[in-house]
Amino acid sequence: MGSEGWRADLPQHGRRFVVTGASSGLGLETARVLAANGAEVVLAVRNVEKGEAVAATLTGSVDVRRLDVADLSSVREFAAEIGPVDVLVNNAGVLAVPFALTADGFETQLATNHLGHFALTNLMLPQLRDRVVAISSDSHRLAKLDLTDLNWERRPYKGFTVYTTTKLANLLFTAELQRRLTAVGSPVRSVAAHPGSTATSITGNTGNAFKTWVGSWGHKIAGMSVEKGALSSLYAATMDIPGNSFIGPDGFKEMSGWPTGVARSRAAVDPDLAKGLWERSEEMTGVTFPL
């Protein structure tokens, strides 16, 4: 069973957090709770105007910085200017969007959900004091990762299928990053979390009106509130847990409940696949492990 009734009310005074994609949904709720508990929180957002509007509704120390994780030039600029950080929460993500390429020539979901955060984490690592949190999904269990076609140039593009592979990539990244941190004796931890079924706007950009409607109402009917859904991320970001932990809800099929340690797919614990993905990610982004 999970941490029944856990409310993320641990004091965070003197700690600095970066939360990507923090202008709405789980990212905003994560930032809200951290700031309310005394943390200094950086909202890393694509739309600064929107970020500043939501920041004005939060209590505590909140800073807004521009970051488009799907654009490597934006990632490099943000990392160069951010300074020391205790915890990086890699929350920004897109789900089942229509096929498109980013300015760097990468498929949008791969770029947003994995490559951008891969680059951001490694660029920030020399100034990271405590941990990095990757936000994955239980849908990673459905994924089959083809390292020879990460950009979906050879296979038919299916939005949700691609999404699942990026969520598997988040867990492989978490494991390989922890392996590397341990190997160099770093105290920094690499952990992951997933929010179960939570009512957010992430299903709103599929490009298919019916799928968007089904996804949105399915989450609203069967899922948790954003306040409860964010608890897994907050637990992973603040509790004393081992490196490579994976936190999710403790309820039926991990759709809802209180945060606890959860299992992952066989592919997600494959060290060769994790190493291979890391090497391909370095090649694609030009960013390497800095420690």
Domains of the chain: 16-195+224-285 (3.40.50.720)
Residue 253 has pLDDT above 90, yes or no: no
Spatial separation of the C-alpha atoms in residues 164 and 252, rounded to whole Å: 20
Q: For residue 130, give the amino acid letter.
A: D
Q: Could you report the per-residue pLDDT of 163-197, keeping only the tens digit for each?
A: 999 999 999 999 999 999 999 999 999 999 999 87
pLDDT band with cut points at 50, 70 and 90 for residue 209: low
Residue 204 has pLDDT above 50, yes or no: no
Mean pLDDT throughout 113-136? 98
Residue 266 has pLDDT above 90, yes or no: yes
> What pLDDT does 164 receive?
96
Is pLDDT larger for residue 90 or for residue 229? 90
Spatial separation of the C-alpha atoms in residues 187 and 127, rounded to whole Å: 12
Is pLDDT larger for residue 209 or for residue 56? 56
Residue 205 has pLDDT above 70, yes or no: no
Residue 215 has pLDDT above 90, yes or no: no
Residue 97 has pLDDT above 60, yes or no: yes
Q: Say if residues 203 and 181 touch (Cβ distance below 8 Å).
A: no
State the chain's mean pLDDT as an integer.
Answer: 91
pTM: 0.91
Q: Which of 163, 173, 235, 246 is catalytic?
A: 163
Q: Is 163 a catalytic residue?
A: yes
Q: Is the sign of the CA dihedral 9, 40, 46, 20 positive or negative?
A: negative
Is pLDDT larger for residue 24 or for residue 220? 24
